[in-house]
Structure 1
Amino acid sequence: MGAILLVYSSGYSSRTDPMVHAQYLAARLSKDNMQIFTMPAPSFPLASLPATLFTAPIPETVDHVQIAKDCIDRLAANDVSVLAPDTAHWRDLLAMTSTLRTFTSGISAGAAWRDITTLHKPSGFELEKESVVVVRKGSLSSIDARFHFTNGLQPRGRCLGLVKIAPDVLHGEETDGEYKIWSLSTILESIDGYGDPDIYPPNLLGKGTLDPRNGDSHLEPSYFDALVVGLGPSGLSTLARLKALGVNAIACDKIPQVGMNWTDRYHSLRLHTPKAQNSLPFNFKPPENAPYYLGAEDLKEYYQSFVDRYKLADSLWLSTTAKHVKFNSDKTSWTVSLNQSGNQRIIVARHVVFCLGVTGRQARVPVFPDRDEFTGEVLHSVDYISASQWAGKRGVVIGTANTGHDVAEDMLHAGMDVTMMQRSRTAVLNVERLPLHQAFHKGVNVSDVDKSFFTNPLAIERVFMREVARQMALQDKERFEKLEENGFKVNREADLTQILFEQAGRHYMDVGVSQMIIDGKIKVKSGSPITGFNSHGLSFADGSKVSADVVVFATGYESNMKLAVSKLLDPEVANKLDECWLLDREGNPRGSWKPIGHLLTIVDPNIWFCPGDIGTSRFFSRFLALQIKAEVEGTPFRPYDK
């Protein structure tokens, strides 16, 4: 019996023809009779990744433009000593490694940069002088700059680099005053001859590309380069970027109208972040007369206007549900069984992209004893629509993240007596103090801001955001104390990056409900866990009880898209896919926007996850689209795997 090699599926697969791929594997294996299986990449806590921010002051008198130019020139010359040896991080998004990688020390980053630069000889390094700025945030300071270059890879692409530069510091003391790069990000902007995922070609605006498929039955098989499953923000973003690159793509969703994935939820739903941050691609922002915090109807109208503007209607298969996705024996395509308003439809797609949100909408409902004794109503927020029918009744909301606050506010406005049940301390974030509020302001070019906002190495981002959270806690100290006086326990040491990438919640972006708690309009029960239901409400470990007519679980969703996707796949395929979300050993979201294929021995079978909130999926869908375009054109990316 041959040896068995277990390979972690971390996204570094070779995507090419079987013969070349066999050679790729042979170079790594010493015996012909080895059996190869993939295993999902294990998750690593963000806190385990080292990161240090430079605190050495940058004098006002320094020529920061010249410093930035010198550092970029050294990088272009393959002088990796310009990277701070112990503390530098390099995050690459397809530009140099042909995949999504992060190197978490100057030594590893320097070795990778040297390898790739020596082999492919990137060229045309040019500093964007007007981008150079000295950034000071509390005790932190850096010279930030952008530069442009051509990567020299195949496929060849135009790239953007971003650096943070600071004086080299050793053990708290300045060494020789030399400035070095401690954060480097490189981004593939476009591939030569393949279009730009951020620009929708004007020639496509006057026509559609496919016949409408809104619930119609077409029994003959059809072939597409890509099928996008899901038409929320990630699905619309992915489809639009694929179309911009000339990929023959369609998207399906069970909803009968675009945007109904918002309006089918609770009526009072509104986003808790600036409307510009919730834009779709191509710098197509919500209308100026839309509210700052977009509601469900606002989002539906905005999404429809996006579809109309970019002539996407013919590529949308609405009232259509994917029932089964089967990997074909040719190892390069999928046969997909669809249900269109009760009729069967079979298509073949070279690529299948799952855009189901970071959670996949699998409701998480805690189980408490004696549920049958309770005489009132119990539901999860996924089934909550409105509190209007419960006017004058008592409502309890279990959960104190964004949705819990929304439901509590809706109950209050409906005339209910409202209590929020808090299970653990909750981070309360003043939106106006967050960097995203400052970045995504009126008039901003969203595509441009994304390239700064979403590209920092996450370990660096975490340390920076902890400093931001510390300052916010000091500024909001009085408000937090008033919340605590009313029973709401505030997490004042919130790790904002960890919240977003590891917890998918446990925070409230304050759009007004905190003041309702402070004013006593919404009560809070905290400090004691629920022990079970009783006939009139809930019982707690401290012996207390809270009466209720309605209990709403605002307790979130199962946080792995793979759970939802696996139901559509054959088990032998589903069991070998990478996990979705949480972080890999380099600090990148697992299985996200890069190959997650199950057959390492043949070729990558072209199956993808596109998770994340609106902003995250908007930005990273561009890299997913570029990879699909390259593969369809016969020039697949070959990832750097050292």
Structure 2
Amino acid sequence: MAKLEKTLKAQEGLALAQDSAPGKGEQASAAQSPSNQVVDWLASLQWCLENQDIDQFVDLFADDGYWRDILTIELDFNSLSKSSIKSYLSHHQLSLPPLKNLALDRPDQLVITPEGRIRSFIQFETDIYRGTGVVILTDSRVTSTHSKAFLFFSQIWEVKGHEEKLGFRRPLGVPTGTHAEGRPLTWLETRNQSAERYKNGVDPTVLILGGGQNGLSVAARLKVLGIESLIVEKSKRLGDCWRTRYDSLCLHDPVWADHLAYMPYPPTWPVYTPKDKLADWFEFYAASMELDVWLQSTLVPSAAEYDPDTGRWTVDVQLGEEGTIQLRPRYLVLATGLNGAPQWPTNIANLDAYSGTVLHSSQFQSAKEWHGKRAVVVGACNSAHDIAAELVHNGAAEVTMVQRSSTFVMSSQHGIPALLDGLYEEGGMATEDADRIFTGLPINMLESMHTKIQEKIAELDRPLLRSLENVGFKLDPYPAGMLIKYFRRGGGYYIDVGCSELIASKKIKLKQGKEVSRLTEHGLVFSDGEGISADVIVFATGYRSVRERIGKLLSEQVAERLGAVWGKDNQGEIPGTWRLFGQPGLWLMGGNFFQARCFSKHLATQILLQELNIYDKNWPGRSQTKVYSKE
């Protein structure tokens, strides 16, 4: 972020904060330039904040406008429509945040959107932190009225005096510490000792369970803030969570949206990352970011206890063959994914009668051994399609997909560019800029925007979708599209990369709308009485609740205190992840690569504020001690 003082100086003379309430003094004329409209709007906003005038504040928004805020109103995530701002603040006894020195951030990035609105990055500060955001305003040159906010996004970016150790603040890298021989420790000696010290009575501030993209991202964020963390990963190698999946697996999101924090992929990186390449990158990332990791390590189930008096957890970690080590971290971050244990159908009779192989999709690794064999895949979302296609490509004699309900289908060819172009694309804007814009959009607003986009995608995909319907595949017409379905449900869709054509051409057979009733010695029978022979049955039937897994991992008492996880709260925000959700000292870090990169920063910031003892008290603009995910 550009230094606030430089930006303010560059804008000096453009506008001054108004001396009277907005609407009572001179206002922007229809001929004002876009930058002056933003400056004037920020000046009006500044007046409202300084005078705590909520009515005038609300009047700065368009009728369909939103205030998306991360951590400045209260230490939570909020998406407030114009009509709900005043009632929410009043109900929760919250005041407007004391933001000051509101200014354009990098005015050269101000643009007119395709909808004819003005979009600008902004920055601000308080006595405690510096913040960044985005405003999207109506253009008075078009509307002939004063600019109103379609979107005002505000977020904490850095805490003063505790900035990330980047750029000019980067470490020197010279030898530090003292060896037993009296000489300085080398960098390698320091690194080798770093994770080992936790075996010798030193407790990490943060214990992170899971070394996937979410665990690595939050560990990196904490690292550059100077907060010690330790990753506990059950696998033999970092990246095995991807390395051990089915052979053909690639990420379904393109490279431009999938960078990890601080370390973008090189320009030679493929558009869709193969799982083994990604797994190797995880190892490289952890080494480069100097993250402390214990491999082949797990938390002893149901042995975690939280002491509210000391603010520490007591946990037992099974460290491979080295035995059990007790740690007392202040915070636990669960980064083992948003899924629980594999979901197996519970209403299928005679499971023991089957003589073939039964796998869950999480266990399926290679289709090579099923060359010339008959396979049935139960399920019809991403994993099911990928596995069915891999079986066909590896010469399975017969592949049948069992689609029990409906599936949302979108082609990668048309859908991904329509959803991401303008933000995440080759030659596009900097990832940090795209992240700020996308993070700032409330999901309820995105739902409306994507409903229009999805109409265009569906029209482009019409030949594909018709070909599927022609063979009996049942489509879910979810109006808001794939991304919103992911935000709301976490699944239920397929991004087509070729399997749909295999279904349409009947190279993959389809059984639609019927449940598996029972297994026989050589196959399975459906609820309509039809039977299919199979050498292998793969259940791509999803996963159980993450709350259930938390109960088994920590305790049922902890799980009972937790709020909702994933889906939507009454503001349309995703509950549970990256924010308070019922248990002090416990955080859930989950989601795709974009969410791992963006929200790991907000989670780490919340931990930093707790460490500075300003999280639960003396917080400007906040009158409650704790606010958990809203029901």
Q: TM > 0.5 between the two?
A: yes
Work out which of the residue numbers 522, 525, 539 in structure 1 matches 2:511: 525
Q: How many Å separate the matches in 2 of 1:175 and 1:301?
A: 53
- 8 Å Cα contact 1:290-1:298 kept in structure 2: no
Structure-1 residue corresponding to 2:119 = 144
The one-letter amino acid paired with 1:575 is: E
Residue pairs, 1:81-120, within 5 angstroms:
81-84=58-61, 86-108=63-85, 112=89, 120=98
Residue 582 of structure 1 aligns to a residue whose secondary structure is coil
Residue 223 of structure 1 aligns to a residue whose secondary structure is coil
Structure-2 residue corresponding to 1:607 = 586
Structure 1 position 628 matched with structure 2 position 612? no
Structure 1 position 488 matched with structure 2 position 480? no
Structure 1 position 163 matched with structure 2 position 135? yes
Structure-2 residue corresponding to 1:122 = 100
Structure-2 residue corresponding to 1:289 = 268
Q: How many Å separate the matches in 1 of 2:215 and 2:423?
A: 24
Shift of 1:427: 1.4
Gap change, CA 1:109 and 1:270, over 3 Å in 2: farther
Residue pairs, 1:372-391, within 5 angstroms:
372-391=352-371
1:429-472 CA distance string (max 9 Å, x none): 22343323552223553233211122311111111111111111
Gap change, CA 1:498 and 1:361, over 3 Å in 2: farther
Structure-2 residue corresponding to 1:256 = 236
Bigger fraction of residues in strand: 1
Gap change, CA 1:118 and 1:565, over 3 Å in 2: closer
Gap change, CA 1:362 and 1:123, over 3 Å in 2: farther
Q: How many Å separate the matches in 1 of 2:191 and 2:63?
A: 53
1:411-440 CA distance string (max 9 Å, x none): 112211212111222111223433235522
Work out which of the residue numbers 28, 35, 42 in structure 2 matches 1:72: 42
Work out which of the residue numbers 191, 213, 232 in structure 1 matches 2:159: 191
Structure-1 residue corresponding to 2:294 = 317
Q: How many Å separate the matches in 2 of 1:616 and 1:456?
A: 13
Structure 1 position 567 matched with structure 2 position 552? yes
The one-letter amino acid paired with 2:493 is: H
Structure 1 position 370 matched with structure 2 position 350? yes
Residue 148 of structure 1 aligns to a residue whose secondary structure is strand
Structure-2 residue corresponding to 1:501 = 487
Residue pairs, 1:267-306, within 5 angstroms:
267-282=247-262, 284-306=263-285
The one-letter amino acid paired with 2:44 is: R
1:127-180 CA distance string (max 9 Å, x none): 5433332323xxx65332221111x25xx1111121232379xxxxx9974431
TM, length-normalised to structure 1? 0.80
The one-letter amino acid paired with 1:145 is: S
Structure-2 residue corresponding to 1:584 = 569
The one-letter amino acid paired with 2:149 is: I
Work out which of the residue numbers 318, 324, 337 in structure 2 matches 1:339: 318
Residue 89 of structure 1 aligns to a residue whose secondary structure is strand
Q: How many Å separate the matches in 1 of 2:418 and 2:570?
A: 28
Structure 1 position 133 matched with structure 2 position 111? yes
- 8 Å Cα contact 2:354-2:520 kept in structure 1: yes
User: Gaps (5+ residues) in structure 1?
Assistant: 1-59, 169-173, 599-604
Query: What is the number of residues matched between the two proteins?
Result: 561
Gap change, CA 1:439 and 1:538, over 3 Å in 2: farther
Gap change, CA 1:445 and 1:131, over 3 Å in 2: closer
Q: How many Å separate the matches in 2 of 1:502 and 1:364?
A: 22
- 8 Å Cα contact 1:197-1:622 kept in structure 2: no
Work out which of the residue numbers 366, 384, 394 in structure 2 matches 1:404: 384
1:171-229 CA distance string (max 9 Å, x none): xxx99744311322212111111113887953176747665588x79764322211111
The one-letter amino acid paired with 1:435 is: L
1:72-116 CA distance string (max 9 Å, x none): 332222141443364322111113433222223345169749997
Gap change, CA 1:542 and 1:62, over 3 Å in 2: farther
- 8 Å Cα contact 1:531-1:539 kept in structure 2: yes
User: Gaps (5+ residues) in structure 2?
Assistant: 1-29, 49-55, 175-186, 625-631
1:228-285 CA distance string (max 9 Å, x none): 1111100000000000100011111111211111112222221111023221101x22
The one-letter amino acid paired with 2:242 is: W
Shift of 1:623: 0.6
Q: How many Å separate the matches in 2 of 1:293 and 1:88?
A: 35
Higher relative contact order (CA 8 A, sep 6+): 1
- 8 Å Cα contact 1:225-1:632 kept in structure 2: no
Task: Say what the alpha-carbon RMSD is for the aligned residues.
Answer: 3.1
Work out which of the residue numbers 426, 429, 452 in structure 1 matches 2:410: 429
1:600-628 CA distance string (max 9 Å, x none): xxxxx311111212221221010110111
Q: How many Å separate the matches in 2 of 1:228 and 1:218?
A: 13
Gap change, CA 1:427 and 1:107, over 3 Å in 2: closer
Work out which of the residue numbers 500, 523, 527 in structure 2 matches 1:514: 500
Gap change, CA 1:101 and 1:197, over 3 Å in 2: farther
Shift of 1:406: 1.1
- Structure 1 stretch displaced more, 331-340 or 512-521: 512-521
Work out which of the residue numbers 546, 552, 555 in structure 1 matches 2:538: 552
Structure-1 residue corresponding to 2:22 = none
Q: How many Å separate the matches in 1 of 2:423 and 2:62?
A: 31
Q: How many Å separate the matches in 2 of 1:115 and 1:219?
A: 46
Q: How many Å separate the matches in 2 of 1:212 and 1:267?
A: 36
- 8 Å Cα contact 1:273-1:509 kept in structure 2: no
Shift of 1:632: 1.5
Q: How many Å separate the matches in 2 of 1:435 and 1:508?
A: 15
Gap change, CA 1:240 and 1:399, over 3 Å in 2: same
Shift of 1:498: 4.1
Shift of 1:517: 2.4
Gap change, CA 1:179 and 1:120, over 3 Å in 2: closer
Q: How many Å separate the matches in 2 of 1:554 and 1:419?
A: 13
